[in-house]
């Protein structure tokens, strides 16, 4: 069964504060939440988040270059984090959860999360700095 072509049009997320953009899959429309706090932008599966299961799909975190130099070695050894960009004195990182973020007792929530999580690597590849 072919997907509706409209669903294939990416959803462009542009962060004006930190000057970057990402392309989210079109079929994510109305299925995700963005939580922004300080230098951290977290993308969540809405259904699992509302069910109390977390729902974290990935996180963009902006470090100062000095902070990244101080913390990167430990972070790289303990969580799934990669550097995706540098601008001026800022380092942009992309990380994925290290624990289960879906309701494992609900097959529909589990499948929904798994489907969205399969898109995460492509989203990471779409990261672009803007000005």
Q: Looking at residue 1, what is its pLDDT? A: 40
pLDDT in tens, 1-21: 444 444 579 999 999 999 999
pLDDT above 70 (res 105): yes
What residues contact 120, with CB distance under 8 A and at least 6 apart?
A: 57, 58, 96
Which contacts qualify for 102-109: CB closer than 8 Å, 24 or more apart?
Answer: 102/45, 102/48, 102/53, 102/54, 102/55, 103/48, 103/51, 103/52, 103/53, 106/51, 109/47, 109/48, 109/51, 109/53
Query: Which tens digits make up the pLDDT trace of 65-96?
Result: 999 999 999 999 999 999 999 998 999 999 99
Instruction: Find where tokens 């079929």 sit.
Output: 27
Q: What b/e string do you get for 22-43 counting C-beta neighbours within 10 Å, with b at 16 or more?
A: bbbbebbeeebeeeeeebebbb
Q: Are 12 and 21 in contact (CB under 8 A)?
A: yes
Share of the chain above pLDDT 70, in %: 95
Q: Does the predicted TM-score (pTM) go above 0.95?
A: no
């Amino acid at each position: 069964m072919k997907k509706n072509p409209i669903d294939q049009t990416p959803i462009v997320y542009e962060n004006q504060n930190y000057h970057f953009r990402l392309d989210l899959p079109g079929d994510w429309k109305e299925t995700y939440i963005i939580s922004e706090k300080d230098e951290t932008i977290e993308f969540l599966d809405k259904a699992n988040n509302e069910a109390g299961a977390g729902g974290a799909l990935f996180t963009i975190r902006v470090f100062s270059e000095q902070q990244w130099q101080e913390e990167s070695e430990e972070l790289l050894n303990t969580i799934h984090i990669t550097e995706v960009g540098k601008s001026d004195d800022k380092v942009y990182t992309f990380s994925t959860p290290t624990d289960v973020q879906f309701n494992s007792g609900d097959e529909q929530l589990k499948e929904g999360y798994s489907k969205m999580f399969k898109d995460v690597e492509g989203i990471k590849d779409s990261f672009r700095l803007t000005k």
